[in-house]
Structure 1
Amino acid sequence: IVPLVVSQAEPTKRVQRRVIATRLLEKLCSIVPVECVKKDLAPCAQMLCQDPSAAVRTSVAQRLSMIADSLKNSTDCVSLLLPCLIELCKDDDPGVREAILNTIAVCLPYFTKESRKSVVIPLIRKCTEQALFLKDTSLTVVAKQIGPWLDSVKEILSQQELKWFLDTYCRLVDISMGDSDKISALLCTACRRMCAYNFPCFAMVYGKESFNEKLMPILDRFCTDGDDEVRSTISSGFHEIIQMRPDEPALVGPFIELIRGGAPEVVQQMTGNLHKTLPPLYECIKKYTGTVNVKISRIQLDRILIGCNRLLRGTGSWRSHESYLNNIACIRHLIPFHDLYVSFLPMLKQEVLTVRALPCRIAASQTLLLMMREFPMEKNRNTVIEFFTTTIGSHESCNRRRLLLDVVPIVLQHFSREFFKQHFLESVLKLAHDKISNIR
């Protein structure tokens, strides 16, 4: 089949056949021996990179990474594929250039350190400067790939090259937020979304000085951006940013802005990693309350979190609501037990009784039980126990009574058998005589 594929790639064949040949190349690379890839398939790919049809060149540009992976040798990748990358980056067709810019990030790990340093980095810089000058659709590809490029070469970059990456990222953000007639609003929005996606990567690579001076103003702009998707993208990666800068009080403001925007999509992106975001956030507020960067108190943050619950339960996205209810359990170690009892206990009880989705009711029950463990006073603990054994166990709704059975594995997991037998067993066994057969 290899000679057949190579024959279909010849310039005399129809364009459609040559495009199919590029797809077959990708499939064959993963199943034929490495020697066959080096001898037949890689030269065939080189020939297709010089094809007169832009559609063929675009198709092969999208598949060079699979060939690089199948060669399993960085020296072979440099000799066989690096010339293809260089040639396609100079292509006159914007579609081909976009395809190869996307491929570079995937191919980078397969090249030798020397080739990355001496050839690929200058190539990336040249392509990026061209995109910044032309301000065409390749600009969005550069905005998307600048993070993966940086991540792949950060160990071999000089200080001057590191500075170029940061300055270029800042230029991309400035261009995407500008009102220039040379670039469409749609392109600007797409660039901002890509830049927001890459923000955690830049926060990871650059130190505190660069973060505070150049990246922090960008984060503030992203968190107040008019596009919901930009804010959602930042929201989904906010836990990464705050874990890299756990002692940075300036991050409190952007977090509050993301939630205060009131967009459910933005808050939903944050719920899955709320347990990673809240501990450093509460620590910053505790340490820096009253300073220029921290203008809210811990009690205000408590109220904002409770407001998130109201926002999420009205969206219909029960998975996000479930994540929120599970992950706010971490605050039991962050705020005084009295505030847990006064502020969060009523909210969680209400969710157990009224929220529609069963996973959300179970999540609220689990968090309620975990918070109960932090109450030093027995009467406060008994309030929660009686809520489950009496209010839930004797509820007129069979769905609520059934919830007591769903809580049993949680109690057994987080508490001792003696605790379960003393406080829950009797109420659970009463359900053996329930009038509803499903509960029995």
Structure 2
Amino acid sequence: MEADEQLYPIAVLIDELKSDDVTLRLNSIYRISTIALALGPERTRDELIPFLLESLDDEDEVLLALAQELDARFVEYLGGPQYAHLLLGPLENLAVVEETVVREKACESINSVAEVLSTAQIQEVYLVLLKRLAGGEWFTSRTSAASLFASVYDKLPAAQQSELRGMFAMLCHDDTPMVRRAAARFMNGLIPHLSKELVVADMLPLYRHLSADDQDSVRLLTVQDLVTIAGMLDASEVRQILLSSIHGAFQDKSWRVRYMTADNFDKLATAVGAELVNEELVASFVGLLRDPEAEVRTVAAGQIPERLIPVVRELAEDPSQHVRGALAAQISALAPLLGKDATIECLLPLFLQLLKDEYPDVRLNIISRLEQVNQVIGIELLSQSLLPAIIELAEDKQWRVRQAIIENIPLLAHQLGVQFFDEKLSNLCMSWLGDTVFSIREAATVNLRKLTDVFGVEWARQSILPKVLQMGTHPNYLYRMTTIFAVMTMAPALDAYTITSSVLTTILPMVDDAIPNIRFNLAKAFEVLSRVLAPSPEGVRAVRESIIPALQQLSEDSDADVRYYSQRALETATKV
């Protein structure tokens, strides 16, 4: 009986992994560490690992889970690092399957195990595995091999390092594009482990070979390799041996490669140095800013350095809204680089132009980054230049344009500060509450709530609440309705004192309003206020003494809707 109990965990695992139920097999894999703990290190090595080595599931989800579990963390269940190499067998099997995500996860786990392997284990087991994968008949094994060089390179003597470089070169010249693509992708990780001399002698020729590949999916991955190689050379070496390759990346026939080059321009500029950029790369980068493909112009516009101001005007008029949006997101960052005079002369006209763009994201990107400009030219000059354009848009005859400005006001207020807002924008925000379009009035109330979050309850009590509540006695019922909507929207941002001392005093008399819509929306407002006031003793008293009596009156209203919403609100209020 004792022997059966000792065999039970592995027997259960075998049964579960042979089950037709994928979920059961998957759950057993996720419990494999627990099973290994129960078995103990010796039986895990002698029974569990051989079983995993022989049984390969046909469900990708199960294989992926196994690849995740058999990483360096599992080494402790084997008895320590001296047995870590035993994991390489099952992981090698997973590294050659057809499904890409399984292979990649298996390779990640192999690399994690490699970190705890001794030099002897690497030489006797890991290198043998790597040779099998690199020389495998199927491209899947050779693709996986490309990712396994960097993790062990530094642990090997010079002779075997040379052997590794030779194997990697073989993968770079593989007949299968997928393998060459993997080599281009993982060369970036291997290069930093080599001396400058070996990079120039061995890696640079491989980079040039891959960067001239007939598949653009291979070439685009070499851009990162180019950046890494450039970072290991000094400026004179870059100029002498790498400059033609850099220009080639900028001018590649594939827009995808040019896109990657544009996306990595900042990294490349850092790697080669400012002098070389100014002398050699500005013209090439300008070419990307004027690229026929909008995707390339978009990513390039997101990396504009200060020396490229002359082409910024061109980008501001680009026919692609995405290009203009990318420009709007970056143009403010140029202000600190250019200084006050150049910002006023070069950037402010473009801000005005982009602020009037028909594409909402362009306007948003400008407004959301004005703080950087404010720090350079000052709030007075900024307000003189841009405020008229903002007000013009806020009064646009198209209500959707007005709505876009309203939605950006809290962002603008945060950028420019409370004093500027009170002086320049407060009246504008209040005017939206009386707009003829309901969506604008609704957006205006949400705007007030967000402004309260930005500037605080005390500011709201002094600056905007009196104006909002004053509308509660307006002869036009739409204004009175707006007061109620504003109260409901702002309530969660207010404190109990503000609600009891100001808000309730204004809205309680509205229980006698002649318009039923006012009365049932008032009932809704009382329900919201009851929830907000509930945590405060002062609030609870106000609910019981003021809100509940008002709701009781409304619950006997002649209008059915008023009665319904009042009774619903009463249920909430009486629980406070």
TM over 0.5: yes
1:388 is displaced (CA, Å) by 2.0
Distance 2:186 2:166 in 1: 14
**1:106/1:406 CA distance change after superposition, 3 Å:** farther
1:99 matched to which residue of 2?
Answer: 182
1:284 is displaced (CA, Å) by 6.5
1:50 is displaced (CA, Å) by 0.9
Structure with bigger RCO (C-alpha 8 Å, 6+ apart): 1
Which letter maps to 1:167?
S
Distance 1:77 1:18 in 2: 34
1:136 is displaced (CA, Å) by 1.9
Which letter maps to 1:220?
V
Distance 1:17 1:188 in 2: 29
> Helix, strand or coil: the match of 1:424?
helix
Bigger Cα displacement from structure 2, 259-268 vs 394-403: 394-403
Which letter maps to 2:277?
F
2:321 matched to which residue of 1?
Answer: 264
Contact 1:25–1:41 (CA<8 Å) still a contact in 2? no
Paired-residue identity, %: 16
Which letter maps to 2:155?
T
Residue 243 of structure 2: which of 161, 166, 176 is its match? 166
Task: Name the TM-score, length of structure 2 as normaliser.
Answer: 0.56
1:145 is displaced (CA, Å) by 3.0
> Helix, strand or coil: the match of 2:214?
coil
Residue 35 of structure 1: which of 111, 117, 123 is its match? 117
**1:362/1:86 CA distance change after superposition, 3 Å:** same
> Helix, strand or coil: the match of 2:333?
helix
**1:40/1:373 CA distance change after superposition, 3 Å:** same
Residue 426 of structure 1: which of 461, 466, 482 is its match? 466
Distance 2:286 2:191 in 1: 32
1:47 paired with 2:132, answer: yes
Distance 1:263 1:323 in 2: 15
**1:22/1:48 CA distance change after superposition, 3 Å:** farther
In the TM superposition, what are the counterparts of 1:93-172 in structure 2 within 5 Å? 93-109=176-192, 111=193, 115-131=194-210, 136-137=214-215, 141-142=218-219, 144-151=221-228, 154=231, 156-163=232-239, 164-172=241-249
**1:92/1:401 CA distance change after superposition, 3 Å:** closer
**1:171/1:373 CA distance change after superposition, 3 Å:** same
**1:192/1:18 CA distance change after superposition, 3 Å:** closer
Distance 2:382 2:90 in 1: 72
Q: Structure 1, residues 19-78: CA drift from partner, whole Å, max 9, x if none?
A: 9995573264277583398465553233110113344323433x437xx45x6x832598
Distance 1:203 1:284 in 2: 26
Distance 2:443 2:99 in 1: 61
Contact 2:262–2:296 (CA<8 Å) still a contact in 1? yes
Residue 324 of structure 1: which of 338, 341, 366 is its match? 366
Distance 2:105 2:314 in 1: 50
1:303 paired with 2:349, answer: yes
Distance 2:226 2:128 in 1: 26
Contact 2:91–2:107 (CA<8 Å) still a contact in 1? no
**1:424/1:56 CA distance change after superposition, 3 Å:** same
1:74 matched to which residue of 2?
Answer: 154
Distance 1:19 1:395 in 2: 57
1:104 is displaced (CA, Å) by 1.0
Residue 284 of structure 2: which of 211, 218, 241 is its match? 218
Contact 2:210–2:218 (CA<8 Å) still a contact in 1? no
Distance 2:113 2:210 in 1: 37
Which one has a bigger Cα radius of gyration?
2
1:194 is displaced (CA, Å) by 2.5
Distance 1:20 1:399 in 2: 47
Q: Structure 1, residues 174-231: CA drift from partner, whole Å, max 9, x if none?
A: 4x3xxxxxxxxxx433332222222222222334432221111112222222221221
Q: Structure 1, residues 346-388: CA drift from partner, whole Å, max 9, x if none?
A: 433455564469786332343157547675xxxx954522222
2:259 matched to which residue of 1?
Answer: 193
> Helix, strand or coil: the match of 1:75?
coil
Contact 2:187–2:225 (CA<8 Å) still a contact in 1? no
Which letter maps to 2:206?
C
**1:195/1:213 CA distance change after superposition, 3 Å:** same
Distance 1:412 1:219 in 2: 45
Residue 400 of structure 1: which of 426, 440, 464 is its match? 440
1:234 is displaced (CA, Å) by 0.6
**Unmatched segments (≥5 aa) in structure 2:** 1-48, 55-87, 473-482, 488-506, 511-517, 529-576
Distance 1:106 1:359 in 2: 46
Which letter maps to 1:48?
L
Contact 1:278–1:331 (CA<8 Å) still a contact in 2? yes
2:168 matched to which residue of 1?
Answer: 85
2:106 matched to which residue of 1?
Answer: 25
Distance 1:374 1:279 in 2: 23
Which letter maps to 1:137?
Q
Distance 2:367 2:183 in 1: 44
**1:340/1:206 CA distance change after superposition, 3 Å:** same
Q: Structure 1, residues 212-266: CA drift from partner, whole Å, max 9, x if none?
A: 211111122222222212211111222xx33xxxxxxx42112222222232111
**1:415/1:19 CA distance change after superposition, 3 Å:** closer
**1:371/1:21 CA distance change after superposition, 3 Å:** closer
Distance 2:378 2:142 in 1: 63
Alignment length (residue pairs)? 385
Contact 2:53–2:89 (CA<8 Å) still a contact in 1? yes
Distance 2:197 2:394 in 1: 61
Distance 1:274 1:232 in 2: 13
**Unmatched segments (≥5 aa) in structure 1:** 177-186, 243-249, 287-296
Residue 390 of structure 2: which of 337, 341, 348 is its match? 348
In the TM superposition, what are the counterparts of 1:204-283 in structure 2 within 5 Å? 204-238=270-304, 241-242=305-306, 250-281=307-338, 283=340
Contact 1:395–1:401 (CA<8 Å) still a contact in 2? yes
Which letter maps to 1:64?
L
Distance 1:413 1:425 in 2: 14
Contact 2:91–2:110 (CA<8 Å) still a contact in 1? no
1:183 matched to which residue of 2?
Answer: none
Instruction: Please tell me the root mean square deviation across aligned C-alpha atoms, in Å.
Output: 4.2
Which letter maps to 2:269?
A
**1:146/1:27 CA distance change after superposition, 3 Å:** closer
Distance 2:316 2:157 in 1: 47
> Helix, strand or coil: the match of 1:226?
coil
Distance 2:466 2:111 in 1: 61
